[in-house]
Structure 1
Amino acid sequence: MINILMIEDDPEFAELLSEYLSQYDIKVTNFEDPYLGLSAGVKKYDLLILDLTLPGMDGLEVCEEMVQKYDIPIIISSARSDIADKVDALALGADDYLPKPYDPKEMYARITSLLRRYSKAQPQETAPQGDFEMKGDTIYFKGEALSLTPAEYEVLSLLVKHQGMTQSREQIINTAGTMSIDSQGKSLDVIISKIRTKLGDNKRIQAVRGVGYKLV
């Protein structure tokens, strides 16, 4: 599950976004008070969604303090349309800026894109993730190296890196650049079936109806 810290003084807006993101195994914890958000144990969160117009403290100040104290991706979510705010936020260290109003689908896309880039930027020393371990371009399952095609490797590596989190079909297809362009949906189902066979366990990769797949 992805844990997101949100600092937003509009509780209805925060609730709507939280409900939408929950279908993708994303949990949003919102604080209307920026001071509470800053003291909320930031290290346990994967990403921060930050409004700029906040009570008692400007969002740019919160952004600056977060960047100085923590290593966490930051998406600014603000109705302030002044280009100077966007420039200042990015200059302070924010990673993205999404003007309100926006479709929750776009926020979801930006969250997954940012976390994917952020993960790639981290040291690539791969600790075992349950029964799975990634070393270079090889994936091990219960200590045994898996013989995977390039497409199977791309799909399984994405699921391993986000174990326990649902990956949409679109995410998987966009990540797996070697998949067939003509019949991506059908190709993905075939690849998943082949991976399950190679794992010898049909229950490790679960289909999430109407969304995609997740590794458990």
Structure 2
Amino acid sequence: MQRILLIDDDEQLGGPLASYFQRYELALTQAVKPSAGLALLREEHFDAAILDVMLPEMDGFELCRSIRKDNDIPIIMLTARGEVMDRVVGLELGADDYLPKPFEPRELVARLQSMLRRRSNSQVQDTQNELRFEGLSIDPARRSVTRQGEAVELTGTEFELLHMLASDSGRVFSRDDILNHLRGHEADLYSRAVDIVVSRLRKKLEPLDCIKTLRNAGYSLALRRLP
């Protein structure tokens, strides 16, 4: 059973949500304070995390930043309905998806299942051979990336995007192509999310200038592939 960590100070949310999650073979653990949630992530294994934006001690954005320092666990952020800026900031800090409050539990489960399925498929796919380019190496089996010989820490979404571009280098992927791959067909299209993830990835791959933007078309990986 896959384990999900919920960090939300609403103590009335965890119990009913945990019971609902059990129907889908998901085990939910709740922490009502960020410090308790961070301690659980250090001590135990979880397959994904759900963070509320409004929290005591620190807000969900700062919490997401803290988690991303040493953990690439898939993260969904719960944002206020209609607060587009919350979604943008969350994605910029490394969240993989967002869901406005109030939410339907079935939609939250669907988002989680989509993220977990993509992660699992990536880990067991047949194309396990290392992808090597000038200055860049991608190891799908280990989900690791090296840039000019140095390891690069990527979030799950950043790795999925880079691997997608590298698997068919030179091809131009539209924003819709990328959104459907990263977040599933059931997710609302949110083009700004793609731009944010691409921007983060570009920064982490500097000084390599490898992700090209084609106006009104999309993105491609522009590096020479090595044998």
Cα distance change of structure 1 residues 80 and 32 upon mapping to structure 2, 3 Å threshold: farther
Match of 1:99 in 2: 100
Cα offsets for 1:101-133 (capped at 9, x unmatched)? 1111101111111111122333648xxxxxxxx
Tell me the secondary structure at the aligned position of residue 69 of structure 1. Answer: coil
Tell me the secondary structure at the aligned position of residue 20 of structure 1. Answer: helix
Q: Which has the larger radius of gyration?
A: 1
Match of 1:32 in 2: 32
Match of 2:89 in 1: 88
TM-score under structure 1 normalisation? 0.54
- Gap regions ≥5 residues in structure 1: 126-173, 175-216
Structure 2: how far apart are the matches of 1:87 and 1:108? 22
Q: Does 1:11 align with 2:15?
A: no
Cα offsets for 1:65-115 (capped at 9, x unmatched)? 111210200011233642111101011110110011111110111111111
Identical positions, percent: 44
CA contact (8 A) 1:31 1:37 kept: yes
Structure 1: how far apart are the matches of 2:76 and 2:119? 12
Match of 2:208 in 1: none
- Letter aligned with residue 33 of structure 2: D
CA contact (8 A) 1:52 1:80 kept: no
Structure 1: how far apart are the matches of 2:120 and 2:110? 15
Q: How many residue pairs align between the two structures?
A: 127
- Letter aligned with residue 118 of structure 2: R
CA contact (8 A) 1:14 1:30 kept: yes
- Letter aligned with residue 85 of structure 1: D
Question: Alpha carbon RMSD of aligned pairs, Å?
Answer: 2.2
TM-score under structure 2 normalisation? 0.52
For 1:36-51, what aligned pairs fall within 5 Å after superposition?
A: 36-42=36-42, 44-51=45-52
Tell me the secondary structure at the aligned position of residue 53 of structure 2. Answer: coil
Structure 2: how far apart are the matches of 1:86 and 1:25? 28
CA contact (8 A) 1:8 1:50 kept: yes
Tell me the secondary structure at the aligned position of residue 50 of structure 1. Answer: strand
Shift of the alpha carbon at 1:23?
1.4
Match of 2:66 in 1: 65
CA contact (8 A) 1:6 1:49 kept: yes
Shift of the alpha carbon at 1:13?
1.7
Cα distance change of structure 1 residues 67 and 122 upon mapping to structure 2, 3 Å threshold: farther
Cα distance change of structure 1 residues 17 and 64 upon mapping to structure 2, 3 Å threshold: same
Structure 1: how far apart are the matches of 2:24 and 2:11? 21
Match of 1:2 in 2: 2
CA contact (8 A) 2:80 2:86 kept: no
